[in-house]
A and B are shown apart, each in its own frame.
Chain A
């Protein structure tokens, strides 16, 4: 049982307040991904859970218990560091069993655990090597094994895949998801890569400048972003946004939510534009379309247009979002929603 809870937590380094009055509940047994731009405080949050940095104010609870005064080694927490932080002077085996030794696990038990873990992560042939003689992917596995072997109730991972090449990263992503299924413990995973966040998370916690922007399942964050930041952070390319020209409201639609046609069609929002760039990515093509007032990125599954071609861009009513001046999304059942919809329709221009 290890749900994690932040209660009015503030973290400041000297005079710089990084996180202010943060409240967050991380559910037991879930794969939670902390995501946000660089410097938003993800690592800071993780280090407070691990007990490596003490919060300036507020309390951190693990399994309902305030752990503020509990040493990192006593919290039942294991962490995979961004740079792995393996012990360079120890062999892979020694790296993995260091924590066990400190916890006074008997020698037979230790050997059994090390053997089975290294089997799981495919490290058996390398047990007697030093980390310096391993590849990046192998080091990463050592870091994982070192964390796993302690059977922690909370697994913290700080961008563990960021040093790997794209292919290995995709493979490790799947392995981590399977690992989580197998262990069933709480995973807190930090990344600034939103693809990683979308593909692995049960719950995404989206942060910006020390504040939580949205906390929801990946599909909810994608379909119902709380605000402009969430809308533009999740999804590649980011959501297209334009000024509605009314109450300072902005409208938006996803690159995959629009349709490009050579002929004019009837859709809720339709404009004429010209293709300025074309990126052919294989299964899909991304066009940049310039209209009179805006430039939109459009994702199409078919590659039908060429640069400089005149096209018509159409978006369905169901694919359109509105954001208030304070950047919060305007819900569908908001009284003004219909009025904004009408205004957007009236904006159709040649």
Chain B
């Protein structure tokens, strides 16, 4: 009797145990370990010579100019990628939502970048952006515009990286928005037509609110993803030229051998920034989002 009672109490915990073990092992433990590392002056060669230095790593972070540089670069990159991708994919989705046979083809094509490895994409774009004989400059010259140095100059390198990221993402997010658009019942638009609503009004008062949950989701996901950008930077510029594309994660990566403690502290700061950002999003926007 008593045994079954106990089992009934325990059963839910037993059922979530496997998942909890996974989370503890692969999420919670690494985070705690990261926090712990961030408070050490860590010696890679001899672990015993590592020294506990409290918050010193953090004071160092906030007193170093290159951290602020990396932060600014990351913010610029994120804003660029998020704004351009959202605007473009919304635009493309609205266009794709008109059912034509041609659009079905475009839909398949536009998704392809998402399934290709970012390494291949980055390499192809590096080739396209080659200043002397790359296709992009060739095209610019063909229409009479001045050629750009692309990845070779600190003034255009971040822009180049943003372009590549947008190009890779835009298809995927377009499809997400198309799916949302297709979910809006046609009769609502018919009712709006009978209500004499202008095209702009229909878009602003009906279409946008109806897809707001998906747009909000994309905004949050893309902000987080962009803040953690690494692979594109690593392959295309290595953070350069002159640190102009050193994003936060790449910044952390640069300290991987020289100062693990400092890198860990930066990682913790990055985590905090993303958490705060997400929180702000939810606070500011969630009452504007319409959930069915």
| Residues of chain A whose beta carbon lies under 8 Å from any beta carbon of chain B | 50-52, 71-74, 77-79, 81, 83, 85-90, 98-99, 102-103, 132, 146, 150
Contacts and interface: CB of A to CB of B under 8 A. Distances in A.
A99 B195 CA distance: 4
A85 B206 contact: no
Interface stretch (B8-16, B174-182, B186-194, B242-250): B186-194
Given A83-B187, A98-B205, A102-B198, A89 B210 contact: yes
B290 A79 contact: no
B198 A87 contact: no
Given A73-B195, A90-B205, A102-B196, A81 B290 contact: no
Contact of A98 (B185, B195, B209, B292): B195
Question: Which 4 pairs show the lowest CB-CB distances between chains A and B?
Answer: A73-B196, A89-B209, A99-B195, A85-B187
B141 interface: no
B190 A81 contact: yes
A102 B201 contact: yes
Given A74-B196, A83-B187, A89 B290 contact: yes
Nearest to A85: B187
Contacts of A132: 292
12 contacts: A50-B194, A52-B193, A52-B194, A81-B187, A87-B191, A87-B206, A88-B210, A88-B290, A98-B197, A99-B197, A102-B196, A102-B197
B74 to A, nearest CB: 34
B206 to A, nearest CB: 6
Interface of B: 185, 187-188, 190-198, 201, 205-206, 209-210, 212, 290, 292
Contacts of A98: 192, 195, 197, 205
Nearest to B185: A85
B196 A99 contact: yes
B207 to A, nearest CB: 10
Contacts of A72: 190, 193-194, 196
B198 A88 contact: no
Contacts of B206: 87, 89
Contacts of B193: 51-52, 71-73
A72 B212 CA distance: 27
Contacts of B209: 89
Contacts of B292: 88, 132
Given A74-B196, A102-B197, 7 more contacts: A72-B193, A77-B194, A79-B194, A85-B185, A87-B206, A89-B205, A99-B196
A77 B196 CA distance: 10
B137 to A, nearest CB: 46
Contacts of A86: 188, 191
B194 A78 contact: yes
A198 B92 CA distance: 51
Contacts of A146: 191, 195
A150 B196 CA distance: 11
Q: Which of A52, A71, A90 has the most CB of B within 10 A?
A: A52
A52 B190 contact: yes
Nearest to B190: A52
A57 to B, nearest CB: 22
Contacts of B187: 81, 83, 85
Nearest to B291: A132
Contacts of B185: 83, 85
A85 B205 contact: no
B197 A73 contact: yes
A266 to B, nearest CB: 59
A77 B193 CA distance: 11
Contacts of B290: 88-89
A192 to B, nearest CB: 19
Nearest to A100: B195
A102 B197 CA distance: 6
Contacts of B191: 79, 81, 85-87, 146
Q: Which of A50, A83, A102 has the most CB of B within 10 A?
A: A102
Contacts of A90: 205
Contacts of A83: 185, 187
A90 B210 CA distance: 10
Given A83-B187, A85-B185, A88-B292, A102 B195 contact: yes
Q: Which of B195, B197, B209, B290 has the most CB of A within 10 A?
A: B195
A83 B187 CA distance: 8
Contacts of B188: 85-88
Contacts of A50: 190, 194
Nearest to A82: B187
